[in-house]
Structure 1
């Protein structure tokens, strides 16, 4: 970790709302090879991250569910972290996501990798080995050793609610409890990827003991609402809500536009731009209660097939159908350009026609 990174972490710990990255891409994991298990395409991974950085991306989350990181072995995660750190990403910060079910020893080894590779922030979600009806104290007890270990290494910490993966949602009460325990003063953010806004994001924003944390919206159709709510739940009317989004991997320029509208307080335009993104999200959902399968867009972008599966032509066509139905030309151009970020994917020519026509 560089002296500059350490100084930034200190500022982040003192003031998470102002210093936590406003927008983080939950980065895809480019793949190569064949089933039954594909491998990380290291050259393509670095090129993808470099393209994101060149486009002005503030931060990238490595090992998220977007890239099926929860299916990778501990050794594969370590390779992914090291590969990403070797990319020429300039000022774009890298953030790591770890899995408590891998155990404290394995996660501590990965924390050392993250620290040594310049990752200033590490995220933890509830382990998927917890009971689905685990209560607040049980969740806090399970995460406490990881929070303490990360803080001892000087890392800033984020907590993550994604019941699609964990089997249970993280609650504001569990986060508040962890903040009182060893290492809790290093918690700076909560990422919320849940299908019920009122039962998830709204609760984190309104909880008085979490008022100094950045609340990071992860279920994309709620983004415009969350950004409008963010300043309402800060005594200085600062933007309490950030984004960590897999959809941003495939809709980068549209999300940048939406963030500009939020910063300017152009809420009507933000909501209109949101309506262009949500159908793409829906086109990759097979169940409205579960998160979109963004691997379909990953393949369309030329970043490979899923680690354990295959994207079908029908699934790709659903995505194109949603894209073609975007009414506003500027939205369609931004979305098509985003999907063509690599400029050499299997659908490059088709996307090119969409944003040049």
Structure 2
């Protein structure tokens, strides 16, 4: 059975899933705005669950959730909940800038759909110079409303979207707010590991929370650091990864190696995911444009844009030049998860599958 909100709240480190896929949003239609492809969305989620993904985050920035209207987010949450995903947990991401009334409507929906966890990030309506107290005060109403509905809560730092990070001090303050006892995890998608993930792990007030690495190149370090920051030596670091949407089999391999404490294999396998990450990254200070891989997978173009041939070839060039064949095969198999995308034949060759 899938975990309940109560189980997660009672034991975040022990119960929170080790890996969560920050899901793509399969799209259809034409510009200036594409629509969610609901049938494709459900099929994608079902393939991820069958591959072994423990959890999925819906409406994440990877899927350009920050561009969706509130009604579109509601439709996405409903659509995902109707997929046959077995024990794979579904989590929803909310946006404070939508206002408390809209977020309460979405929280009612998430509770009705039995999503056990809701995440919230700093709002884009805050200035880049907002203080820790201003950030925590802006998030407190949503925290209280989510707790009133019995949901477990995750906090999310992603400057690329929000414009400013969530600090460890802001997170600690939120633990003392109404509903703060429902907070179970912090997802950290920031370029500077020392200024973000390391501080969340080390902050004494956050010691019962799972700290979830979201900037993929820091994954190996976070997994090695995680047990050092738990009194019982448990793994405090997890993953919520957009890259896992396109490399699910490679990420499951990395997690298996980490569980065996085979850190040499973790580092070697991560070199391949890092290469794919860089192939979609136009600026090293900003997160990769994973919509390019979404298109390669046959999940459509971005909501409000289009992928060029050059973008596609950069990804394939990185994939074809990975030093280890096993990594190449796992990532190609992941990119071919749907089995019918526009590059299916090319990906089968990279998996070592003979069409004849």
Shorter-chain TM-score range: over 0.9
Tell me the residue number matched to 1:303. 299
CA–CA distance in structure 2, aligned partners of residues 91 and 142 of structure 1: 33
Does residue 106 (structure 1) correspond to residue 102 (structure 2)? The answer is yes
- 1:115-194 aligned within 5 A: 115-194=111-190
- 1:163-242 aligned within 5 A: 163-242=159-238
Find the residue that maps to 1:285 and give its secondary structure: coil
Tell me the residue number matched to 2:268. 272
CA–CA distance in structure 2, aligned partners of residues 55 and 284 of structure 1: 24
**Structure 1 residues not aligned, in runs of 5+:** none
CA–CA distance in structure 2, aligned partners of residues 103 and 145 of structure 1: 10
CA–CA distance in structure 2, aligned partners of residues 9 and 169 of structure 1: 26
CA–CA distance in structure 2, aligned partners of residues 310 and 329 of structure 1: 31
CA–CA distance in structure 2, aligned partners of residues 10 and 251 of structure 1: 31
Tell me the residue number matched to 2:329. 333
Q: How far did residue 22 of structure 1 move? A: 0.6
Does residue 284 (structure 1) correspond to residue 280 (structure 2)? The answer is yes
- 1:240-279 aligned within 5 A: 240-279=236-275
CA–CA distance in structure 1, aligned partners of residues 261 and 58 of structure 2: 30
Find the residue that maps to 2:4 and give its secondary structure: helix
CA–CA distance in structure 2, aligned partners of residues 8 and 155 of structure 1: 9
Which of 16, 25, 30 matches 2:26?
Answer: 30
Number of matched residues?
Answer: 353
Tell me the residue number matched to 1:18. 14
Moved over 3 A (4+): none
Q: Cα RMSD (Å) of the superposition?
A: 0.9
Which of 329, 333, 341 matches 1:345?
Answer: 341
Q: How far did residue 9 of structure 1 move? A: 1.8
CA–CA distance in structure 1, aligned partners of residues 12 and 52 of structure 2: 21
Does residue 52 (structure 1) correspond to residue 48 (structure 2)? The answer is yes
Q: How far did residue 57 of structure 1 move? A: 1.1
Q: How far did residue 8 of structure 1 move? A: 2.5
CA–CA distance in structure 2, aligned partners of residues 354 and 268 of structure 1: 24
Find the residue that maps to 2:156 and give its secondary structure: strand
Does residue 76 (structure 1) correspond to residue 72 (structure 2)? The answer is yes
Find the residue that maps to 2:194 and give its secondary structure: coil
CA–CA distance in structure 2, aligned partners of residues 188 and 340 of structure 1: 33
CA–CA distance in structure 1, aligned partners of residues 77 and 4 of structure 2: 20
CA–CA distance in structure 2, aligned partners of residues 111 and 346 of structure 1: 37
Tell me the residue number matched to 1:315. 311
CA–CA distance in structure 2, aligned partners of residues 161 and 120 of structure 1: 20
**Structure 2 residues not aligned, in runs of 5+:** none
Deviations 1:112-148 (A, max 9, x none): 1101111000000000000111111100110000000
CA–CA distance in structure 2, aligned partners of residues 53 and 277 of structure 1: 20
Find the residue that maps to 1:194 and give its secondary structure: coil
Of 8-17 and 139-148, deviating more is: 8-17
Find the residue that maps to 2:223 and give its secondary structure: helix
Q: How far did residue 12 of structure 1 move? A: 1.2
Find the residue that maps to 1:159 and give its secondary structure: strand
CA–CA distance in structure 1, aligned partners of residues 4 and 82 of structure 2: 20
Deviations 1:242-282 (A, max 9, x none): 10000000000000000000001001110011111101000
Tell me the residue number matched to 2:59. 63
